[in-house]
Amino acid sequence: MNLYQRFQWLGMLVCLAASNHVAAQAPITFREQIAPILREHCIACHCAKRAEGGYRLDTVEQLNKPGDGAAIPIVAGKSGQSEWFVRMKHTDLDLRMPLDSEPLTSESIELIGKWIDQGASLEGIPATDPLWSVIPPKTYAAPPEHYTVAIPITALVFSPDGSQLLSSGYHEVLAWNPAEGALVARYANQPQRIYAIVTSMDPNKLFVGGGTPGAVGEVRLLNRSANTVEQVIVRAPDVVLDVALRPGNQEIAVAIADNTIRIINLEKNEQRRLIASHADWVTQLAYSDDGKRLGSSSRDKSAKVADADTGELLVSYPGHAASVRGIASIQDGKQWITVGADNKIHRWEVENAKKVAEVPLGGEPTRVIKDQATVWIPDADKHWYKLELANNAIAIKQSGHEDWVTSIAVHSGTGRLATGSMDGTIRVWNMADGALIKTWLAKP
């Protein structure tokens, strides 16, 4: 090797070392790298509901406030003086955080230490922002090619033309040919658990609601033809349990397990209103046919009806005296149908919350679907029910499933009804007489 070659080789080594040094010093981002660690491992014990040691980190503002011990959580530029970092590395199990659970990985601890030493930048995030909201929406890993076990069918809907039946999967929506039970498409990058699939104004697009319980809730807009998620419309600190599209209006209402309802203006892509009138999970939502009233059912043992424009509470119905699982509007919102853990259907009026009729069921219902003058109810007694509103009588009590019936969908145009169960089975029926047409296990 001549002198020139030696200098050339030495220069390459210097450049390589410099590039490695730059990579080692690359800024650690709070949004993408630190906040997800805190959300997964720390917030359960340090939030508004459970502030262990008087310390919270559920908002950026609380993050820097000392707890009962008055030690400073984060000293910018000095990880060794930051209570956070000291506790994460502590060898005493009574002092190490997280307490009573597995320690953070060495990689996570090192990442947090570097972030503090680099200045603990919060990147201009508003102080009042909840921790969950600053974490960018995930691009989820691809679901397994083949499921080892079937999963419960928690959401089910027909495509607008009835040619496909869309069901909840693991981090995906599955599309089936309802006549053959054949899988025709898979739409990935969805929440872990899916509890709502709703067709939008555009028949090619779906609102998909779900999340990871106790961690994050989302509504994603799925474009079926492109097989892409166009946007994440809603993000919340707990799982989304239902989505309702407001008739004649560019709005959706979103039911969340954090006890709230969010009203989203789709034209402006912004939250128009947050309704916090329930004291427990909001389980299902329904608009009146004219779009003027919004009904909600809740685990707090009540059903409520609000003015869809103002959010003003019009009535609260306590008649079930048990968790209310589902709700549907009839008579343009003057009357409502609800089902609950009392194993009954209730029909009641908005005026004075007066009960009009009560119909017993064989088990606990999971929700309500209304189609014209008929109400359809999936039930934990392994049956589905058809209620005729004209006489408040059960017209069909249909067996056939071997486990709880957890979801139901109807399509008047094809005269078909579909049900999904806890054991992952889908069945397609004739709406008119309840005759079984097709059965399959929804397991790719």
Q: What is the DSSP string of 298-364?
A: ETTS-EEEEETTT--EEEEE-TTSS-EEEEEEEGGGTEEEEEETTSEEEEEESGGG-EEEEEE-SS-
Q: What is the DSSP string of 305-322?
A: EEETTT--EEEEE-TTSS
CA dist 419 → 20, 254, 280 (Å): 57, 23, 27
| pLDDT at residue 13, rounded to an integer | 40
Does residue 217 surpass a pLDDT of 50?
A: yes
Return the structure tokens found at 183.
């899988």
Return the structure tokens found at 372.
């014209």
Does residue 386 surpass a pLDDT of 90?
A: yes
Task: Give the model confidence (pLDDT) of 161-188 as tens digits.
Answer: 999 999 999 999 999 999 999 999 999 9
CA dist 113 → 30, 86, 90 (Å): 12, 10, 14
Average pLDDT, the chain: 90
Strands 240-245 and 251-256: antiparallel
Task: Give the model confidence (pLDDT) of 227-263 as tens digits.
Answer: 999 999 999 989 999 999 999 889 999 999 999 999 9
Amino acid at 400: G
Q: Where are the domains of the chain?
A: 30-134, 156-441
19-28, 261-270, 327-336: which range is least confident on average? Answer: 19-28
| pLDDT at residue 25, rounded to an integer | 62
CA dist 205 → 159, 239, 307 (Å): 10, 21, 27
| pLDDT at residue 89, rounded to an integer | 85
Q: Does domain 156-441 have CATH number 2.60.40.10?
A: no
Q: What is the mean pLDDT of residues 184-212?
A: 96
Cβ(220)–Cβ(233) below 8 Å: yes
Task: Give the model confidence (pLDDT) of 315-372 as tens digits.
Answer: 999 999 999 999 999 999 999 999 999 999 999 999 999 999 999 999 999 999 998 8
Cβ(344)–Cβ(310) below 8 Å: no
